C-alpha cells in the first residue's frame, strides 16, 4: 500500500471544477486531499425580472398547492413575491405560502419571509442547505410535493436526494443560467480536457454540464471533448440529474450514493488511484498518475514532457519505444530527437531512480519491467 496519509489520495491528479456556486468549497476539499485543481465556471447566474417561466411556475403552484415550500435566498424570495404582485397574483401567492410548511434557509431568508408578513415553520441556525435537506428527509417526503425556490445554480444533489426519497420536486426559477461573461477560463478547461491535462472533471448541476458541452460544440471541438471524457478524463457528477446532459451524449459518468460534495470528493479519492497504472519496474513499485509518479509510495512530481514520455513507455511496458515515437508524444515537439534525451534526463532525475527507464542503444528506451512481470504485460 502506498502512503496516502503522507501526501493525500489525490496527489498527482488534476481535477477540473465547473461549478459557479460552492466552487471554492469543492476546490478546497479536493486540494486538501492533494489534487491540483483547475476552476472554470461553466455558468453565471442572472436574476429573472419579468419572466414567463416564473409566472407559469407560480400559477401552477397556486392552482395545485405543494406540501412544503423551501425559500433559499432572501433576494430570490423577495423577487418572487414582487414579481407575483406585478402579475396581480401577489395575494394568491401569500395565501398559498401561509397554508404550507414554509422552510427558510438561514436568518437572511427568514427576514425576507417575515417582511412579507409570513411566518416560517422552521429555519436552521446556519445557512446550510444540508440541514434543510436532513430535516425534510427525517420528516419523510415520500408522496409529498416540495416546491424549491431555485438558488441560482441548483443545489448540488438536493433535488436528487428528495426525488430518491419519493418526493415530487417543483422548481421555482427565480434565476436564469447563462454562459459566463468571461468565457476564456471555460475555453481553457475545454482545451486542457482534450489535451488530457485533467484526470477528472466534476459537475454539480445539469445546467453546468449542458453549458460545458454547448461551448465545446460552439467551438467545433465536441467530438474531441467527448472522446477525452469517454476514455481518459473521468466525468464525476454529484447525482443522476446532473449527469443527464453528459449521458445523453454517450458519456459514462460516476456519482456518489449520497448526492453531496463530500461524498463526490470521496468517490474521486477511490476512483482515480484505482484507474492509475501500477507496474513493477526495476525492483520498485511505480504508480503513474496524471502529473506525478509514486515510486514505492513516495510522491515524485514530474514535468509535463516527462509525463508524456512515461505514459508512452507505460502503454507497452518492457517494450522498446523508438526516439521518433517518443518525440511524437512530446507536447509541442519539433523534429529534433535531442529533445527526447533532454526530457528523458529530467524524467529520470524527477523519478529519483534512474534505472527505471533503460536506454537501448540505437533503438530507443524501455521501462525496465521486472522479469516476473514480463508475461503479464507483454503485448499490452
| Distance (Å, whole) CA 229 – CA 225 | 6
Do residues 312 and 32 make contact, with C-beta atoms less than 8 angstroms apart? no
Q: What is the mean pLDDT of residues 188-202?
A: 95
In the numeric block, the cell 482545451 is attached to 191
Question: How is residue 58 written as a grid cell?
Answer: 407560480
Indicate whether 254 and 294 sit together in one domain. Answer: no
* CB distance 365 to 359 below 8 Å: yes
CA-based nearest residue to 307, from 201, 198, 227 = 198
d(CA 58, CA 47): 16
What is the domain-level CATH number for residue 215? 3.40.50.10090
* Same domain (yes/no): 50, 173: yes
CATH number at residue 320: 1.10.10.10
Segment 355-369 mean pLDDT: 91
Q: In this prediction, what percent of the chain has a pLDDT beyond 90?
A: 62
In angstroms, rounded to a whole number, what is the distance separating the alpha carbons of residues 52 and 48? 10
The total number of structural domains that make up the chain: 3
Residue 178: CB atoms within 10 Å: 12
The pLDDT value recorded for residue 371 is 75
24 Cβ neighbours under 8 A, 6+ residues apart: none
pLDDT of 49 strictly over 60: no
Residues 263 and 189 in one domain: yes
H helices, E strands: number in the chain: 17, 17
- If asked whether residues 355 and 322 sit together in one domain, one would say yes
58 and 154: one domain? yes
Distance CA 15, CA 7 (A): 16
Q: Looking at the structure, do residues 201 and 298 belong to the same domain, yes or no? A: no
**Distances in whole angstroms, Cα of residue 63 to Cα of each of 58, 80, 95, 292:** 9, 17, 12, 58
Q: Are residues 227 and 283 in the same domain?
A: no
Average pLDDT of 202-206? 91
Q: In angstroms, rounded to a whole number, what is the distance separating the alpha carbons of residues 186 and 221?
A: 13
Cell of 211: 453549458
Per-chain mean pLDDT for the chain: 89
The answer to whether 153 and 210 are in contact (CB under 8 A) is no
Q: Are 14 and 291 in contact (CB under 8 A)?
A: yes
Residues 130 and 243 in one domain: no
The whole-angstrom separation of Cα 297 and Cα 285 is: 8
**Going by DSSP bridges, is the β-strand pair 200-203/234-237 parallel, antiparallel, or unpaired?**
parallel
pLDDT the model gives residue 130: 84
Domain that holds residue 116: 45-177
For residues 130 and 59, membership in a common domain is answered with yes
Q: How far apart are CA 287 and CA 299, in angstroms?
A: 9
Final residue of a structural domain among 274, 290, 313: 274
Same-domain check for residues 155 and 225: no
The single residue listed with the C-alpha cell 492509475 is 276
Q: Count of residues for the chain?
A: 380
pLDDT at 50: 56
Strand partners, 292: 301
Average pLDDT over residues 103-122: 94
Please state, in angstroms and rounded to a whole number, the distance separating the CA atoms of residues 206 and 154: 8
pLDDT at res. 57: 93
State the Cα–Cα distance between residues 132 and 368, nearest whole angstrom: 56
pLDDT tens by residue, 63-98: 999 999 999 988 889 889 988 998 999 999 999 999
**Same domain? 82 vs 143:** yes
Query: What pLDDT sits at residue 295?
Result: 93
Residue that the C-alpha cell 489535451 belongs to = 195
Final residue in a domain of this structure, among 157, 177, 197: 177
> Residue 176 pLDDT > 80, yes or no?
no
pLDDT tens-place string over residues 239-272: 888 898 999 999 999 999 988 899 999 999 999 9
Top pLDDT among 282 and 219 is at 219
Instruction: Encode 330-349: b = buried (16+ Cβ within 10 Å), e = exposed.
Output: beebeeeeebbeebbeebbe
Residues 281 and 372 in one domain: yes
Indicate the pairing of strand 175-178 with strand 101-104: unpaired
Amino acid at each position: 500500500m502506498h502512503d496516502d496519509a503522507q501526501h493525500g489520495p489525490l496527489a498527482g491528479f488534476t481535477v477540473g471544477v465547473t461549478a459557479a456556486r460552492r466552487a471554492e468549497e469543492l476546490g478546497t476539499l479536493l486540494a486538501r486531499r492533494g489534487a491540483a485543481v483547475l476552476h472554470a465556471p461553466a455558468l453565471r447566474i442572472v436574476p429573472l425580472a419579468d419572466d414567463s417561466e416564473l409566472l407559469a411556475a407560480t400559477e401552477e403552484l397556486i392552482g395545485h398547492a405543494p406540501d412544503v415550500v423551501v425559500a433559499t435566498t432572501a433576494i430570490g424570495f423577495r423577487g418572487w413575491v414582487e414579481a407575483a404582485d406585478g402579475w396581480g397574483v401577489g395575494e394568491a401567492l401569500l395565501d398559498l405560502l401561509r397554508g404550507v410548511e414554509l422552510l427558510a434557509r438561514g436568518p437572511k431568508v427568514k427576514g425576507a419571509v417575515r417582511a412579507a408578513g409570513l411566518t416560517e415553520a422552521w429555519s436552521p441556525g446556519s445557512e446550510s442547505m444540508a440541514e434543510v435537506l436532513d430535516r425534510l428527509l427525517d420528516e419523510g417526503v415520500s408522496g409529498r410535493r416540495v416546491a424549491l425556490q431555485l438558488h441560482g445554480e441548483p443545489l448540488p444533489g438536493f433535488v436528487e436526494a428528495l426525488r430518491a426519497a419519493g418526493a415530487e420536486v417543483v422548481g421555482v426559477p427565480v434565476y436564469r443560467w447563462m454562459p459566463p461573461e468571461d468565457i476564456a477560463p471555460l475555453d481553457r478547461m475545454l482545451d486542457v480536457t482534450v489535451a488530457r491535462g485533467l484526470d477528472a472533471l466534476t459537475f454539480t448541476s445539469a445546467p453546468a454540464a449542458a453549458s460545458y458541452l454547448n461551448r465545446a460544440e460552439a467551438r467545433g471541438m465536441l467530438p474531441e471533448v467527448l472522446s477525452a471524457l469517454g476514455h481518459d478524463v473521468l466525468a464525476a457528477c454529484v447525482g443522476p440529474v446532473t449527469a443527464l446532459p453528459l449521458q445523453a451524449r454517450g458519456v459514462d459518468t460516476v456519482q456518489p450514493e449520497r448526492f453531496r460534495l463530500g461524498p463526490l470528493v470521496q468517490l474521486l479519492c477511490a476512483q482515480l488511484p484505482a484507474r492509475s497504472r501500477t507496474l513493477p519496474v526495476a525492483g520498485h513499485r511505480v504508480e503513474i498518475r496524471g502529473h506525478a509518479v509514486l515510486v514505492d509510495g513516495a510522491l515524485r512530481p514530474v514535468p509535463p514532457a516527462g509525463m508524456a514520455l512515461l505514459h508512452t513507455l507505460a502503454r507497452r511496458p518492457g517494450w522498446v519505444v523508438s526516439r521518433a515515437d517518443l518525440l511524437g508524444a512530446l507536447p509541442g515537439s519539433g523534429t529534433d530527437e535531442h529533445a527526447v534525451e533532454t526530457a528523458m534526463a529530467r524524467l529520470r532525475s524527477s523519478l529519483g531512480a534512474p534505472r527505471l527507464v533503460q536506454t537501448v542503444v540505437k533503438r530507443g528506451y524501455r521501462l525496465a519491467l521486472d522479469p516476473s512481470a514480463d508475461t503479464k504485460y507483454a503485448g499490452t
